Chain A
């Protein structure tokens, strides 16, 4: 079942075409990585998929709804209900504890539930660090809090913008392992990355250059193997 479909999507900033006539379909439960050099349009694409931006032309169908012409209020509602966001810089609120950072996402979605937030943290292995402030956590731990926050409202798509970009190899493996478990649970994962190792562990990889999809690689055959290799490293 298609959860996301981009049809002839372009994004133009003045004279710059950040995305040019992109066509892409993602099925529910897929793990997709988007790779490409800087300025290739990766972040623009993830902003559009994440309802934080709209395309200049074309349409984006998210779970059966065309989000390309929605106003900002509706985009906020759709993002809140269907998207979980993970950032390279984690973006945790510095004065809130780990569990409170997770509860913020609950608060703006429906209602904060500390027990549920604790379960989300336990799922990423941080139950014992729940009362710590971000400054008291390592980079890997902060990224795991960010993942817990992204997952707390059971989104249909988990969007990661360079989620391992600020992590060392050990923490990168931990985060990738979490993605693997989420994938096993049926969560749709779309990740923008520069890291070939992280890109290779996805089921499917698309390569962007100058705002165009230049390659769309099905990695289903090597999917399990790459994960094992990543796990060993």
Chain B
């Protein structure tokens, strides 16, 4: 407020001589700046449409059913797909969700109900710090924590690295959603003699569920597009095929646990990892395939995002 009054008194001399003069200038500045904000908003959206349209045009050229069902062929041979990367992405995303969601939700229950205890404050701060840690640092951490002691790269290490990346988002969104549930609901259940954990599972969690799931979807979408944490954990493996592993396991009459262990224990590829590797190669064929991989990846990530966000908009506007 004080800035306005002072600027008025500063300009009062000119305004006094010719009121229309300063007024016109101010009005012109006003219009110019307001138009500028609109133009910049349009400018910021240019890359979105530029990227999406280019990926659609270039990526759809190679988009055939076999691209989803076949492993890559050696260079020079036409065809081939990225089945290994699709399966790897699904496996890694599943693993990371498995490792990140239960601890994240439990920790969120703690921070939501104990915001003022030292541990609650510390965990909130820790979550903030963790969400700011660069993904490449998490990759190095995953390498030092799992790959180095085990002596080999694995899907497990990749899943853990992605989970560390997801956990802060999951804690934060779950905590926000739990806090939105009216306290009276919880108190009602507790007053009826329900133990706290049943109250949390059967009353609080269902009431907050749609918001929590939105948070899951957004963090899963983010994790499935990440590359940096996987470079030194999942590494990449263009012969990875879950179907073949299972078939081989059944032939050897291995137990389910052995097969599962085999799947988790070897390096896997993922869509972003494959995309990155293909662009680093000097072969135009691989680069063309990279655009198609980008199309699949974008489809996966943007669709998940769009569904989650539109759902939020619908939910909040209907309330």
Question: Do the two chains bind?
Answer: no
Q: Which chain B residues have a beta carbon within 8 Å of chain A's beta carbons?
A: none
